[in-house]
Amino acid sequence: MSTTDTRLSDVLAGREDNYLLPFYWQHGGDQHKMIPEQLARIRGSGCRAVCVESRPHPEFVGPGWWHDMDLILDTCKRLGMRVWIFDDKHYPTGYASGEVERHPELRPWMLVERHLDVIGPMPGAAILVPAPIREDEETLLGAYAFRRRRDRDEGDFDTDLGQYLEGEPVQLVPDAAGKVLTWDIPPGCWRIFFLYQSRRGGPATRIDVIDPRSCSALIRAVYEPHYERYQKYFGNVIAGFFSDEPQFGNQLIGPHRVDPGFYERRIGQEGLALPYNAEVLRRMSEEMGTDAAPYLGELWYESPHSHITRLAYMNAVTRLYRECLVQPIAAWCRERGVEYIGHVIEDMNIHARMGAGPGHFFRALDAQDMSGIDIVLHQVMPGLADYMTAAICAGGGVSPDFFHYSLGKLGASLAHITPHMKGRAMCEVFGAFGWGEGATFMRWLIDFLLVRGINHFIPHAFSPDYPDPDCPPHFGAHGRDPQFDGFSAIMRYTNQAAHLLTGGRHVASAAILYHAEAEWMSAYGKAMLMQKPARALYDRHVDFDIVPADTLLTAARVRDGRLEIAGESFGALVIPAAEYLPAPLLAQLAEFQQAGLAVLFADGVPHGVSETPVPLAKLADAVRAAAGTDLTVDGDYPLLRVFHLVRDGHDIFMLFNESPDKPARTTLRTSARGTFARLRLLEDFAVRDTSPDGAVAIDLLPGQSEILIFGDTAALPAATTYTHAGTLHPTYAVEIAESDDLTAFQPYTTTEKLFNLNAPGHLPDFSGKIRYRFSIEVAAADAGKPAALDLGAVGEWARLWVNGADAGIRVSAPYRFEVGRHLRAGRNDLLVETGNTLAQKIRDRFSHYLQLRPAGLLGPVTLWR
């Protein structure tokens, strides 16, 4: 074991790496001349890279784009910054800079169906074959009939969608003209499917993500022109390319009785056009061991063996997505010395579905050099982990189970189990929350992600326009952003914390099976989503990774009763309840059990399994009983999150109190022993502590976090203990500077009572910075002795000067500053500067979903000795 953690040494010396690559939007036109100033502002905030995005640029991959990129690359080289390139003219990735519009033959093909129900017996019945909608864009593939089960036996017609199939399909052959088919209908009710390969139901201007020829258009239209022009920058200034939300893009076209919504484009949904080509059918047939064509109707309607057909279809299209789109781009980038990153739409479980999703989160991303997710559009709100929350995204609401308990862990898990990612997990963050998203909120989101294992960030976004209505906030806002001081402090903190939390082995007690295959195969609502067991474990301080079946089948082993994957080790494997699971996976689970692994089925078992399930309420106890856990927390603190990492023999813990109102005053118990560093980096707090028995006292305010590094012998001081607090009652001279000129402070009032500057009767429309000047008297005997000034409550960030010396900045409670070395005998002049958000002035639609914090210094202000 090393005596000093090298990454802690880096942070204490200011040598931490960069983990930030904010979006830097390009609109073209006369904004070219602002590029050096904007990049200097970005660099000054602590971000040492950018992701350049056309939002949109009217000349993307044209003369105007090259003119701007030339200056961006030259400026970034001079500033020591790296550049990532957003890989299309606009999101989602797949437009290929208009290549599909120029070559419509590259558009996706879909499988669509029309059907009718007939009753037999009727010898010689004639059935009219529906004509293609457009002869040149729709081809009849075949006609097949399935016997119907009586819907009356399955449920109420008004509440149950029914329409179940049974038995084996019957192939029907139209006449030579393809207009009529004749069939001796057997007794009973039958559904006749007419299956078409069609352009209907697919995106009209985006590539076909399961066709290699179509996918290559993206490389040809975007990637290769950048390489041809900037080859000398590849691997040095240019770090790589970023894909944003590529997707199948298939749409609901009917017939259907119910549209369950944007996020529900899943296999089995009636009326959904399905991505398709001959290779899909070939792969399905190979997996099923028979010609899959007659069974295609089961992709929309349930039968006793539809789970087999649906699994074969989803395996085919999700693997083709990876092979046709993601793997070629990743290979192209690596061959040229750059990296490939990005994310898909994960929201509300669409990561395992189609439509705007990729069908399978892990298959869609595992060829990239980092994992990726995003948190935007009010998807995670502090304190609302128990509530379905209003948001501006599709459907108007977000599920806390998914966003709080599985999204961050999805991104981190993929990075943990994919060796070439080197543990790097990225999140696009802050976008489209609104101007009301202040520094305190941003700090909470960063800690929310760090403690779940995310360690690279794309702040969304820097825009050349102000005010730009496109998904604010926009950091800096051309010098008009009152939150930029706080934002910059958070960016510096993020680099420091991410540096400390990267480069080791994540310690977790359990692996949870990714639910994609279970949902594909099971009837609607019969597959438990992974976030259910995730919540049951996480609120009990049992950490986990989410692991797909592919990994369990190809890259996992059991040794000494523990599941080992890419250096990770888990004492138990949790299987969410499902009606069906793939047969190879069931066989693998049985082998794991025989090798001594605890395989726990949560709340139910699939067909073919005779185990006794574990109720969700007892799942955490079952994991602890099966394999133990690396840590415990005394008392009832479900929202105290703990992340455990081991690096070079050092046990490293991050703790974050997500509770909106309950301090976490408890004891963390671990197997780590001895001296440790206790770091609260945003509070300029780095001290030495010790634990002879693994018990560590924790005292965190709501929204407060800290990092513990065991075994480190860095020369850190012991914490100063203060025993006496005196409340100050000075007269405050209050000054304000409007956002249009944040340097032009004007007197507002003098007061002995602190107040909310945005309150009625004061300045409810004010957006800007606020200063408080006041003085205190210090006795000669106390001058230079340890002392701390606590500002109490503050609306957002606060910076303090004492006798002209900068004492630091805070972005959330506690707003406490070590001031002893700055205090002198007699009068001491203090200045507090803070700011509110631009929401009071701009009142954008995104901020309607936020509660805005009071403005200014609210106190009480106390001096601790």
Q: Is residue 858 part of a domain?
A: yes
Give a yes or no: residue 830 inside a domain: yes
Please give the average per-residue pLDDT across 763-769, as a whole number.
Answer: 99
HEC letters along 539-592: CCCCCEEEECHHHHHHCCEEECCEEEECCEEECEEEEECCCCCCHHHHHHHHHH
pLDDT digits (tens, 9 = 90+) for 733-756: 999 999 999 999 999 999 999 999
For all residues of the chain together, what is the average pLDDT?
A: 97
* Predicted confidence (pLDDT) per residue in 378-417, tens digit: 999 999 999 999 999 878 899 999 999 999 999 999 999 9
The answer on pLDDT for 208 being more than 60 is yes
Number of domains observed in the structure of the chain: 3
Residue 384's contacts (CB-CB under 8 Å, 6 or more residues apart) are 400
Four-residue CA torsion sign, 691, 693, 694, 698: negative
What pLDDT digit, counting tens, does each position of 542-569 carry?
999 999 999 999 999 999 999 999 999 9
Flag whether 652 is in a domain. Answer: no
Query: Distances in Å between the alpha carbon of 62 and those of 23, 92, 268?
Result: 20, 20, 43
Of 582, 602, 622, the residue at which a domain comes to its end is 602
pLDDT, residue 714, reads 73
Question: How close are the terminal C-alpha atoms of the chain, in Å?
Answer: 39
| pLDDT attached to residue 153 | 55
Q: Please report the beta strands in 711-804, taking only residues with DSSP state E, as ranges in sequence order.
A: 725-727, 732-738, 746-751, 768-778, 788-790, 793-794, 798-802
Distance CA 862, CA 865 (A): 10
Above 60 in pLDDT, residue 815?
yes
- Give Cβ neighbours of residue 723 (< 8 Å, ≥ 6 apart): 865
Q: Is residue 698 within 8 Å of 663, Cβ to Cβ?
A: no
Separation of alpha carbons 222 and 217, rounded Å: 8
- For residue 796, give its domain range: 725-864
Residue 139 lies in a domain: yes
pLDDT for residue 677: 96
- Tell me which residue has tokens 């009010």: 378
Query: Is the separation of the CB atoms in 464 and 31 below 8 Å?
Result: yes
Domain end position, chosen among 299, 326, 358? 299
Place of tokens 């991050």: 654
- What mean pLDDT is predicted for residues 208-221? 99
The CA angle 105-111-114, to the nearest 5 degrees, is 125
Instruction: Kindly give the pairing relationship between strand 371-375 and strand 425-429.
Output: parallel
**Residue 240 located in a structural domain:** no
Domain membership flag for residue 855: yes
Reported as a pLDDT band with limits 50, 70 and 90, residue 162 is low
Residue 813 located in a structural domain: yes
The more confident residue out of 259 and 794 is 794
CATH number, domain of 833, equals 2.60.120.260
Please determine, for residue 793, whether its predicted confidence score (pLDDT) is greater than 50: yes
The predicted pLDDT at position 652 comes to 98
φ, ψ dihedrals at 425, nearest 5°: -125, 125
> Cα–Cα distance between 530 and 160 in angstroms, integer?
25
- Both 592 and 739 in one domain: the answer is no
Q: Where are the alpha helices (DSSP H) in 322-398?
A: 327-335, 361-365
pLDDT on residue 394: 78
Contact 201, 300 (CB under 8 A): no
pLDDT of residue 1: 39
Residues in CB range of 835: below 8 A, 6 or more apart: 482, 483, 485, 486, 742, 768, 769, 770, 796, 797
Domain holding 585: CATH number? 3.40.50
DSSP for 58-99, written as a single string: TTTTSHHHHHHHHHHHHHHHHHT-EEEEESSSSSSTTSGGGH
pLDDT digits (tens, 9 = 90+) for 96-146: 999 999 999 999 999 999 999 999 999 999 999 999 988 889 999 999 999
Distance CA(219)–CA(621), nearest Å, equals 50
Mean pLDDT of 569-590: 99
The residues with which 695 forms a beta bridge, in sequence order, are 669
**Domain final position from 299, 314, 331:** 299
Whether residue 38 lies inside any domain: the answer is no
Which percentage of the chain shows pLDDT scores above 90? Answer: 94
- 596 with 730, same domain? no
Contact between 254 and 113 under an 8 Å Cβ cutoff? The reply is: no
